Structure 1
Amino acid sequence: MKKIITLVVFAFLIVNCTNEPLSTDIQTEAKQSNSSTSATAKGTYSECDPISINIMAGQFTNAGKILVENDATNLYVTYSALTNWYFSELHLFVGPYANVPIKNGNPIPGQFPYNKSFNPLIQSYTFTIPLSSIILDDNRCLFIAAHSSMKNIVNGNVVRTETGWAGDIKFPGKNWATYFKYCLRNCETPPPVTNCDTAYMFGNNTFIGLEISEKWGWATYYDNVADGTYNYNLYAGAGQNNINNGYLAGTVTIVIQGSSVKVTINATHPGTVFTETHVYLSDDRPATAAPGLYGNQHTLNNSTTDSYDLTYSGDGSFWIIIHAAVCTTD
């Protein structure tokens, strides 16, 4: 009888070691979170609809949203996880980019001024930050770096543990951390919803085909190109390099004259503006898809046009990538 009991217990332990088990506290919190609202409702803290930015877990999985709004006194930043995703830690920076704790181009979340740890885990949390404590630029704008430690819980087991970041602007370091820009609003009536996306000029090579990234995006190679004017489309949100998954955000005009290359980027989609642009131009094949490493960058304040005057060897053959961070108000 003792041998039978020992074998049963041993088998139970083997079965239950295939996934990381939840603690009793986390199970309790998971039940509580599922019975409550996990997203900030429209105008929870102000007359403005929240700005919504996706939280990407492990770079490629949409695991939640960052919702941002303000009133006359405070900035409100809400972390909201999707079903089966939970937060164990949050780290938040708001203010000028120059003040972000950074080492070798990578942000240091542990040194962000606003942070929170959770045990039990949670699915939603709001930081309330007095505007008087935030350094704003002349346009009453700031940058937000929102980091999170997340767990994917299915049937009571932790099946994934990931780092989460929100935003379309990549930090210049080697990791994939991102951030975004927010400008204070004064709303008497709720404005339309604003969505921010990554946009690329359509080209004759994909990042995947060039084996420089698993994400979507295009590069264009010119071979013995003649002097002249060339026009291209700029697509936003075109996942899997399928333009039907996104929308036409604008156009790109490239004027080639000898070794001079002038690039003009225009937003043509109604309500679309640029917050940042990047251009890669080189005789050499691109080795990275990270926009922050392209070598040419402009930070913009919701502009509808931008331009670059660049040069290359002038032999008629070169590579070019055009990237833009776009926000569209529908």
Structure 2
Amino acid sequence: MKLLSLFLCFLFLTACSVEESENATPQEVKFEINAASSAGKLLSPTAIPCQTSDLIAGQNIVVGTVDVYMDAFSLSIVYNTIPGWNLDETHMSIGDCTSDIPTTGSGNPKVGHFEYSAVHTSGTTVVTYTTDSTSLAFETCIAAHAVVTSSTGQNETAWGAGLGFPGRSWATYIELDTLSCTSSPKDPSDPDSDR
């Protein structure tokens, strides 16, 4: 009887684990996070963002930018602050524009549930999130949130400017067309650029 009970327990556990693996969520995008006190340490000085949004603190204070750099292999999302502002924390969620960014039932973003976040040392002005771009959907949305502090001690939350979430908060997300972002810009001086 003990052997039969043991066998049934094993069968039950095996069935549960198979069911869980069949219903597993897709593997999330993995980001490398780097922080610095100047942009030159993180990206090539010749790099040009394919999309730039203001980083807005306290609903109406422009404290920097959120820049998106993308090529055929990598995606970099870069938080930059203007002089006088520092990044204390960054939080980011990326994915399908309609369902991947964690929100409450009323449509407000759940920053504490964002997949990527980091706390930064005093004086941080640039933070870069980098990942492989090959697995991203053509239409991808980025919720870029930060906690910023001014040199005068003012502390605010900030969002990369974009479309508003459906909830009652002032939070926004950036809509990114990865297809146009990976297209090489045309060089007007190159006679072959129109071919």
The 8 Å contact of residues 38 and 123 in structure 1, kept in 2 or not, is answered as no
CA distance, structure 1, for counterparts of residue 147 and residue 102 of structure 2: 18
TM-score scaled by structure 2?
0.68
User: Which blocks of at least 5 consecutive residues in structure 1 are unaligned?
Assistant: 1-31, 193-330
Matched with 2:124 is 122
Q: Give the aligned residue type for 2:37.
A: S
The 8 Å contact of residues 94 and 100 in structure 2, kept in 1 or not, is answered as no
Higher strand share: 1
CA distance, structure 1, for counterparts of residue 109 and residue 187 of structure 2: 32
Residues 33-66 of structure 1, C-alpha deviation per residue, up to 9 Å, x if partnerless? 37x648966652xxx5431100000011000000
Residues 39-118 of structure 1: matches in 2 within 5 Å?
43-44=46-47, 49-97=49-97, 98-103=99-104, 104-118=106-120
The 8 Å contact of residues 49 and 70 in structure 2, kept in 1 or not, is answered as no
The 8 Å contact of residues 141 and 182 in structure 1, kept in 2 or not, is answered as yes
Residues 63-97 of structure 1, C-alpha deviation per residue, up to 9 Å, x if partnerless? 00000021111111000001110001100111112
Q: Could you say if the C-alpha distance between residues 131 and 93 of structure 1 is closer, same or farther in structure 2, counting changes exceeding 3 Å?
A: same
The 8 Å contact of residues 42 and 128 in structure 2, kept in 1 or not, is answered as no
* 1:33 and 2:37 correspond: yes
Matched with 2:171 is 177
Residues 100-141 of structure 1, C-alpha deviation per residue, up to 9 Å, x if partnerless? 10012110112111111112340001100222453x1xxx12
Q: SS where residue 182 of structure 2 aligns? A: coil
Q: CA deviation at 1:190?
A: 5.7
What is the aligned length? Answer: 149
Q: SS where residue 140 of structure 2 aligns? A: strand
The 8 Å contact of residues 37 and 123 in structure 2, kept in 1 or not, is answered as no
Q: SS where residue 106 of structure 1 aligns? A: coil
Matched with 2:140 is 142
User: Which blocks of at least 5 consecutive residues in structure 2 are unaligned?
Assistant: 1-35, 189-195
Q: Give the aligned residue type for 2:156.
A: E
* 4+ long deviations beyond 3 Å: 36-43, 187-192
TM-score scaled by structure 1?
0.41
Q: SS where residue 120 of structure 2 aligns? A: strand
Residues 131-173 of structure 1, C-alpha deviation per residue, up to 9 Å, x if partnerless? 2453x1xxx120111000000114xxx1x10000012211111
CA distance, structure 2, for counterparts of residue 128 and residue 190 of structure 1: 25
CA distance, structure 1, for counterparts of residue 156 and residue 89 of structure 2: 11
CA distance, structure 1, for counterparts of residue 133 and residue 54 of structure 2: 24
Of residues 161, 182, 186, the one that matches 1:186 is: 182
Q: Could you say if the C-alpha distance between residues 163 and 190 of structure 1 is closer, same or farther in structure 2, counting changes exceeding 3 Å?
A: farther
CA distance, structure 2, for counterparts of residue 149 and residue 191 of structure 1: 38
The 8 Å contact of residues 86 and 124 in structure 2, kept in 1 or not, is answered as yes
Query: Which has more radius of gyration?
Result: 1
The 8 Å contact of residues 43 and 50 in structure 1, kept in 2 or not, is answered as no
CA distance, structure 2, for counterparts of residue 70 and residue 187 of structure 1: 9
CA distance, structure 2, for counterparts of residue 59 and residue 152 of structure 1: 15
CA distance, structure 2, for counterparts of residue 92 and residue 145 of structure 1: 6
Residues 189-237 of structure 1, C-alpha deviation per residue, up to 9 Å, x if partnerless? 4689xxxxxxxxxxxxxxxxxxxxxxxxxxxxxxxxxxxxxxxxxxxxx
**Larger displacement relative to structure 2 (112-121 or 57-66):** 112-121
Q: Give the aligned residue type for 2:158.
A: G
The 8 Å contact of residues 43 and 49 in structure 1, kept in 2 or not, is answered as no
Residues 249-288 of structure 1: matches in 2 within 5 Å?
none
Residues 219-256 of structure 1, C-alpha deviation per residue, up to 9 Å, x if partnerless? xxxxxxxxxxxxxxxxxxxxxxxxxxxxxxxxxxxxxx
Q: SS where residue 147 of structure 2 aligns? A: strand
CA distance, structure 2, for counterparts of residue 187 and residue 122 of structure 1: 31
